[in-house]
Chain A
Amino acid sequence: MSNLAHLFLRGFQHGVHPPEHKGRTASLPIQRMPFMDRYVLPLHQNLGAPPRPLVRVGDRVLRGQPIAEPTAFFSTTLHSPVTGWVRALGSRRVAGGGFEPAIEIEADPYATQRLDPQPRPDWRHMSLDQLVTEVQRAGIVGMGGAAFPAHVKYALPDGQHIRYLLINGAECEPYLTNDHRLMVERPQALLRGIEILHHLLGAEQSVIGVELNKADAIYELRRHIHADQPIRVQSLRVKYPQGAEKMLIKAVFDQEVPSGQLPRDLGILVNNVATVVAIADWFERGQPLIDRPLTVSGGGVASPANLLVPLGTPVREVLRMCGGLREDTVEVVMGGPMMGTPIPSLDAPVLKGTSGILAFTAQEAARPPEYPCIRCGRCLEACPYFLNPSKLARLARVRLFEEMKGARVAECVECGSCTYACPSGIPIVQLIRGAKADIRRRKGKSQ
């Protein structure tokens, strides 16, 4: 009954309801992607500073061995996804279209690629500082897409205390089902990860927020939670962008994170489902972040799938595993359809933050003709941050960046709800995104 009440009372305002397109993969178990002969590992796979290489061309590396070490606190470790040899250190093409320094590894065809469990120190006797070190050593980042180094969140300033651990199982991006499958297939690993974080953070309550379109995941999780565990599953209405950190907090706790503050200022820490599972894997069997689950889907993919893919696998190989691309594919995106990055070349490798590979046909991702803004206000009704997107887009077109700052462009998380809702086909969020990049560039120059 209380859940029924939650449905009516709890949620975030505004947002949009794009078609889900999750049906093709929602019931497919996560399959392990076979090992390829070559892997490309760009160094910069996390927000913040890229790590520094630890290996040289010709070195023998083992699966799970660190190949690059963090250069700063806001940086993380990179591990080899396969046993083999380092073949090159150089520029390689990445998702955005540009080239970045990367390590290329050739897999040893005779290696088993089996990762033997390596005992980690018992988490029950650890301090929070040790957790931070361990997670950085494991190379774990936020796996929802932003690739924010996970350990940074656990380094709390003095005097701050986490009361609520919030696990993000919303998976609000259409097409993606990898978090969904993870919750259904590995509920125990997820709950173990929550237990570890809960214990080390000294939280009072842990909540897993799951949208109601994943009823089987809610069921599995509830079935595995012991009555004495301070963990509960909160079902949520299906709405985009519920997986945005601040929206999830609003939906679950009905609290707004004040503008300019962080969730931890309210005593809340949010982690994605896949991130928590990665933490459990590190503490349970010493496996660093070397594979990640992702969804391959979209009208351009012959047989969609949920796959567990070693980092560095080229997108082309992942698509080949799923039957290849259809002739009429026009665009391939890394991540979800709302916030993902289009890739110009299938050479781009899978990164720590890649939650999906989606191939679209012209019909699926049709761009409507653009009309003038008719001031209908649908973008205002869509924006979960209550900005005025049409005004921001208008200012972005004429490059009035100071005025955009006045209109609080900094609050925009680029969720794309405005562009989705616009009947005039105006690329609102694309204009805002471009302007924000320009603002950042200018700031960088003036410093």
Chain B
Amino acid sequence: MTQRDPRLRVLPSPLLKQRMTSAQVMRDVIYALVPATLVGIGLFGLGALLVVLASLAGALFSEYLFSPPAERRARIEDGSAILTGLLLGLTLPPALPLWMAFLGSAVALGLGKLMWGGLGHNPFNPALVGRAFLLATFPTAMTTWSPQGGGLLTVHPANLALPFLRGDYDAVTAATPLGLMKFQHQGTGLWDLLLGNTAGSLGETSALLLLLGGVYLILRRDIDWRIPAGILLSVAVFAGVLWLINSARFPNPLFALGSGGLILGAFYMATDPVTSPLTPRGAWIFAAGIGLLVVLIRVFGGFPEGVMYAILLMNAATPLIDRVTQPRLFGTPRSPLFDRSKRP
């Protein structure tokens, strides 16, 4: 006990604070991705690990380089650059030249985030900006998929290509389930999809682990459950309608849900709070739009997969959605349809 008065600070109230911090949210998402990443590396080998590491390195490099010196430390420590690098790495082919992964990730941060003013100011999901850049710049490398089963130490020759060279590809390439469906009308079994027994990027293959990580994030209240739920629901509905119309031509809804980057996109990318709507109603509209676009692009577009463009397009619509879904102010009239007020 003091006899003298202690030096008192005068910080205005409220003095209580809930525990969760933005950095903790980022860390949680990274933790949720770890199991799927490890299994993916196990399936595709060392080369895949190198691709992810190159992507992480590119993200951190860019965040460091383009941030004001005084803020560098804090910005690296908030974990958002690591998360972007990891997410981008998970969408890349395991045999991608490492320099491409590094470059794509540096562009993701620089062009996708820092140019807009850093965390919280970017309109588009940075990881997807990076991926869109890579797909536009290196279309062949970005769509050449290698099969699994080469052993843990597999490093593809192309991985080690010198900067600005394409590198040699293995003789053996494989098609992703969505590629098979689109170009050869060949389905893949649901269990293969869930367990990741297919060709594709790291994040495309372990749907089950990604799903578990997503559930963890929902339970921790790190992400808004409405977005993944809405996306999966709307993909199921739109794919289901097409399937009912012509089940020979269109894949069944379960295939649509389990294949490609849908789980990764729905749980980890579309839920990025910075680029998704603020209100629950907005989240539902946003999610429904993504689901619709995914099905349209997959079925009628030139690419086998459409999750990336679907999310980017709905990112662009987010400010508009926010504007039309502002909540009704307390004590202002609501539409008579929903008036449930009771007399005391």
Contact = CB atoms under 8 A, between A and B. Distances in A.
B118 A331 contact: no
B15 interface: yes
Interface stretch (A148-156, A195-203, A273-281, A371-379): A371-379
A260 to B, nearest CB: 8
A15 B228 CA distance: 25
Given A326-B1, A380-B279, A420 B18 contact: yes
A97 B21 contact: no
A419 B14 contact: yes
B192 interface: no
Contacts of A416: 13-14
Given A257-B331, A384-B330, 11 more contacts: A256-B330, A337-B15, A340-B13, A365-B16, A369-B74, A371-B21, A371-B78, A372-B119, A380-B278, A386-B329, A427-B12
A368 B21 contact: yes
Interface of B: 1-2, 5-6, 8-18, 20-25, 74, 78, 118-121, 224, 273-274, 276-279, 326-333, 341-344
26 contacts: A16-B18, A18-B16, A254-B342, A258-B331, A302-B1, A330-B8, A332-B8, A341-B13, A365-B11, A365-B15, A366-B17, A368-B17, A371-B23, A371-B78, A372-B121, A374-B22, A375-B120, A375-B278, A388-B278, A388-B327, A390-B278, A421-B18, A424-B22, A424-B120, A425-B22, A429-B14
A252 B344 contact: yes
Given A327-B2, A338-B14, A423 B24 contact: yes
A386 B327 contact: yes
A321 interface: no
A331 B9 contact: yes
A423 B278 contact: no
A387 interface: yes
Interface in A397-421: 408, 411, 416, 419-421
A380 B327 contact: yes
Given A384-B330, A388-B326, A360 B273 contact: no
Given A327-B2, A344-B10, A425 B274 contact: no
Interface residues of A, number: 77
A259 B273 CA distance: 30
A42 to B, nearest CB: 18
A333 B13 contact: yes
B226 to A, nearest CB: 11
A261 interface: yes
Contacts of A261: 331
A430 B8 contact: no
Contacts of A343: 8, 10
A367 interface: yes
A84 B328 CA distance: 56
Contact of A425 (B11, B21, B344): B21
Contacts of B278: 375, 377, 380, 388, 390
Contacts of B21: 368-369, 371, 423-425
Interface of A: 16, 18-19, 97, 164, 174, 205, 246, 250, 252-261, 302, 316, 323-327, 329-333, 335-346, 360, 364-369, 371-377, 380, 384-388, 390, 408, 411, 416, 419-421, 423-425, 427, 429-430, 433
B50 to A, nearest CB: 30
Contact of A256 (B6, B331, B344): B331
3 smallest CB-CB distances across A and B, nearest first, come from A416-B14, A372-B120, A253-B344
Contacts of B333: 258
A420 B16 contact: yes
A425 B17 contact: yes
Given A258-B332, A365-B16, A371-B119, A342 B9 contact: yes
Nearest to B24: A423
Contacts of A16: 18
B273 A377 contact: yes
Contact of A339 (B13, B20, B119): B13
Contacts of A339: 13-14
Given A255-B344, A376-B273, A388-B278, A433 B12 contact: yes
Nearest to B74: A369
B273 A337 contact: no
Nearest to A417: B14
B248 to A, nearest CB: 43
Contact of B17 (A246, A258, A346, A420): A420
Q: Considering residues A258, A325, A374, which has the most beta carbons from chain B within 10 angstroms of its beta carbon?
A: A374
